[in-house]
Every structure is written in C-alpha cells, then in structure tokens.
Amino acid sequence: MTAILFPEAMCLVDPASGQVSWGANQEWYGDLWQRKAGCGPTAAASLLFYQKQKQRLMHRQPLLSSRQNLLDQMNELWNYITPGHGGVNRVSMFTEGLEKYRAEVKENFEVQALEVAEDPAQRPQWTAVSQFLEEALKRDEPAAFLNLCAGEEKRIDDWHWVMISALDPQTGVITFFDESQIKEADLSLWLRTTTKRGGFVTLRWPAPGMEMAGKD
C-alpha cells in the first residue's frame, strides 16, 4: 500500500455542530449550482489544502481543524475551475484552472496529468496508471481523479472528481476522500470497464527547503 503520510490532515470539524468530516464535501458550497457541479474545484482545493496542512506541520504549527478553512479554499478555486454545463468534465479544464491559479497567486507547483481515453485501445495500461499514482503518493502528494462512468465499479459516483490518498498496486484498490468520507474502490476494474474518458491530476511541489525556488 502506498499512501499519503498525513491523512489526519484532512480530518476537519464543524465548529457549530462538532461534526467530523474526512476531506471536503461539495455540499458545503452556499449556492445550489455549486453544490450540484462543484466536485472539480472541491478536489482541486483538497490537493492544495493538503499541501497547506503539510507546511503547517513542517513549521510546527497546529493543523487547521475547521472545515471553514477548506471551504475558503474551495470558494477560491471555484473562480479558476468553474464548471460549465457539463461540469468539469475534462482533465484539461482542471489543469488549465490550476495553471491559472498558480500564475496568479505565484505558487510553486507543477501540474501533472494522466488522461484516460474513452477508446479502450488508446488508454494507458494499468501499469502506467499505477506508476503515475504511486510516484505521486510516494512524494506524499494525493491525486485528483475524474470518473465520468464507473463501469462495473459502482463504489465511485459517475461524473465526479475525488481525491485519491492511497493505492494498493497489487490489488488495484484505491482509498479516496469523497463526501467527507473515506472510501475504497477497485481502480483497475474501473480502468477495464469504464465506457467514458477520465484521468488523474497531481501537484508536484518542490522538495522541503526549496519552497521559494522559482518564485519571482
């Protein structure tokens, strides 16, 4: 099993109710359309929030514990990854929004993506998908996952983005955050049986001590 090092960084609490959330939930958005179509910016915000939490640990600061902190990031990312009529239904919409965000706020990360074609003959093999995710997780960087059709793996919602936090490359099982819950699914089964395109996006951050490299 290859996994992010600090999954507890995604454990948040609603100050009003005391309800514990594991990761983000697009239902936190204030607007109906955002709640319906906001899984893309929600996943992007989750990637950025995890890095922010790691920086706090590195500087011996307490982790942010209120879900409002992640919601603030979600609202910010909505301005860069804004769903269209079909939501954020292409990896390019996700990556282009992150590139724009990176340029405007002068963050120092590299956007990496692996797309899965609708045509099975043009899809990457499981070894390539597994390697892409393993390399990110070994760097302690989660991955955003776009699934438009779950195929035979019904534990993943269709037309949806989630954040992958762990992978067992032998079984193909991923652990992911979705709807403020920790879930599992067989990603290798998805790859074999989905009938639509999909893909994965990670943010590659500089090594510790190199955070300022490349900034203006």
pLDDT tens, 46-74? 999 999 999 999 999 999 999 999 999 99
Rounded Cα distance, 141 and 135, in Å? 9
Rounded Cα distance, 187 and 176, in Å? 11
pLDDT of residue 176: 98
pLDDT of residue 209: 59
Summarised one tens digit per residue, pLDDT across range 23-32 is: 999 999 999 9
In-domain check, residue 215: no
Chain mean pLDDT for the chain = 94
Q: Which stretches of the chain are assigned E, i.e. beta strand?
A: 2-3, 11-13, 20-22, 110-116, 143-147, 160-168, 173-178, 181-186, 198-204
Residue 155 has pLDDT above 90, yes or no: yes
Read off the CATH number of the domain in which 107 is found: 3.90.70.10
In-domain check, residue 216: no
Mean pLDDT (whole number) for 123-127: 96
Domain that residue 140 falls in? 7-204
Residue 212 has pLDDT above 70, yes or no: no
Residue 213 has pLDDT above 70, yes or no: no
In-domain check, residue 211: no
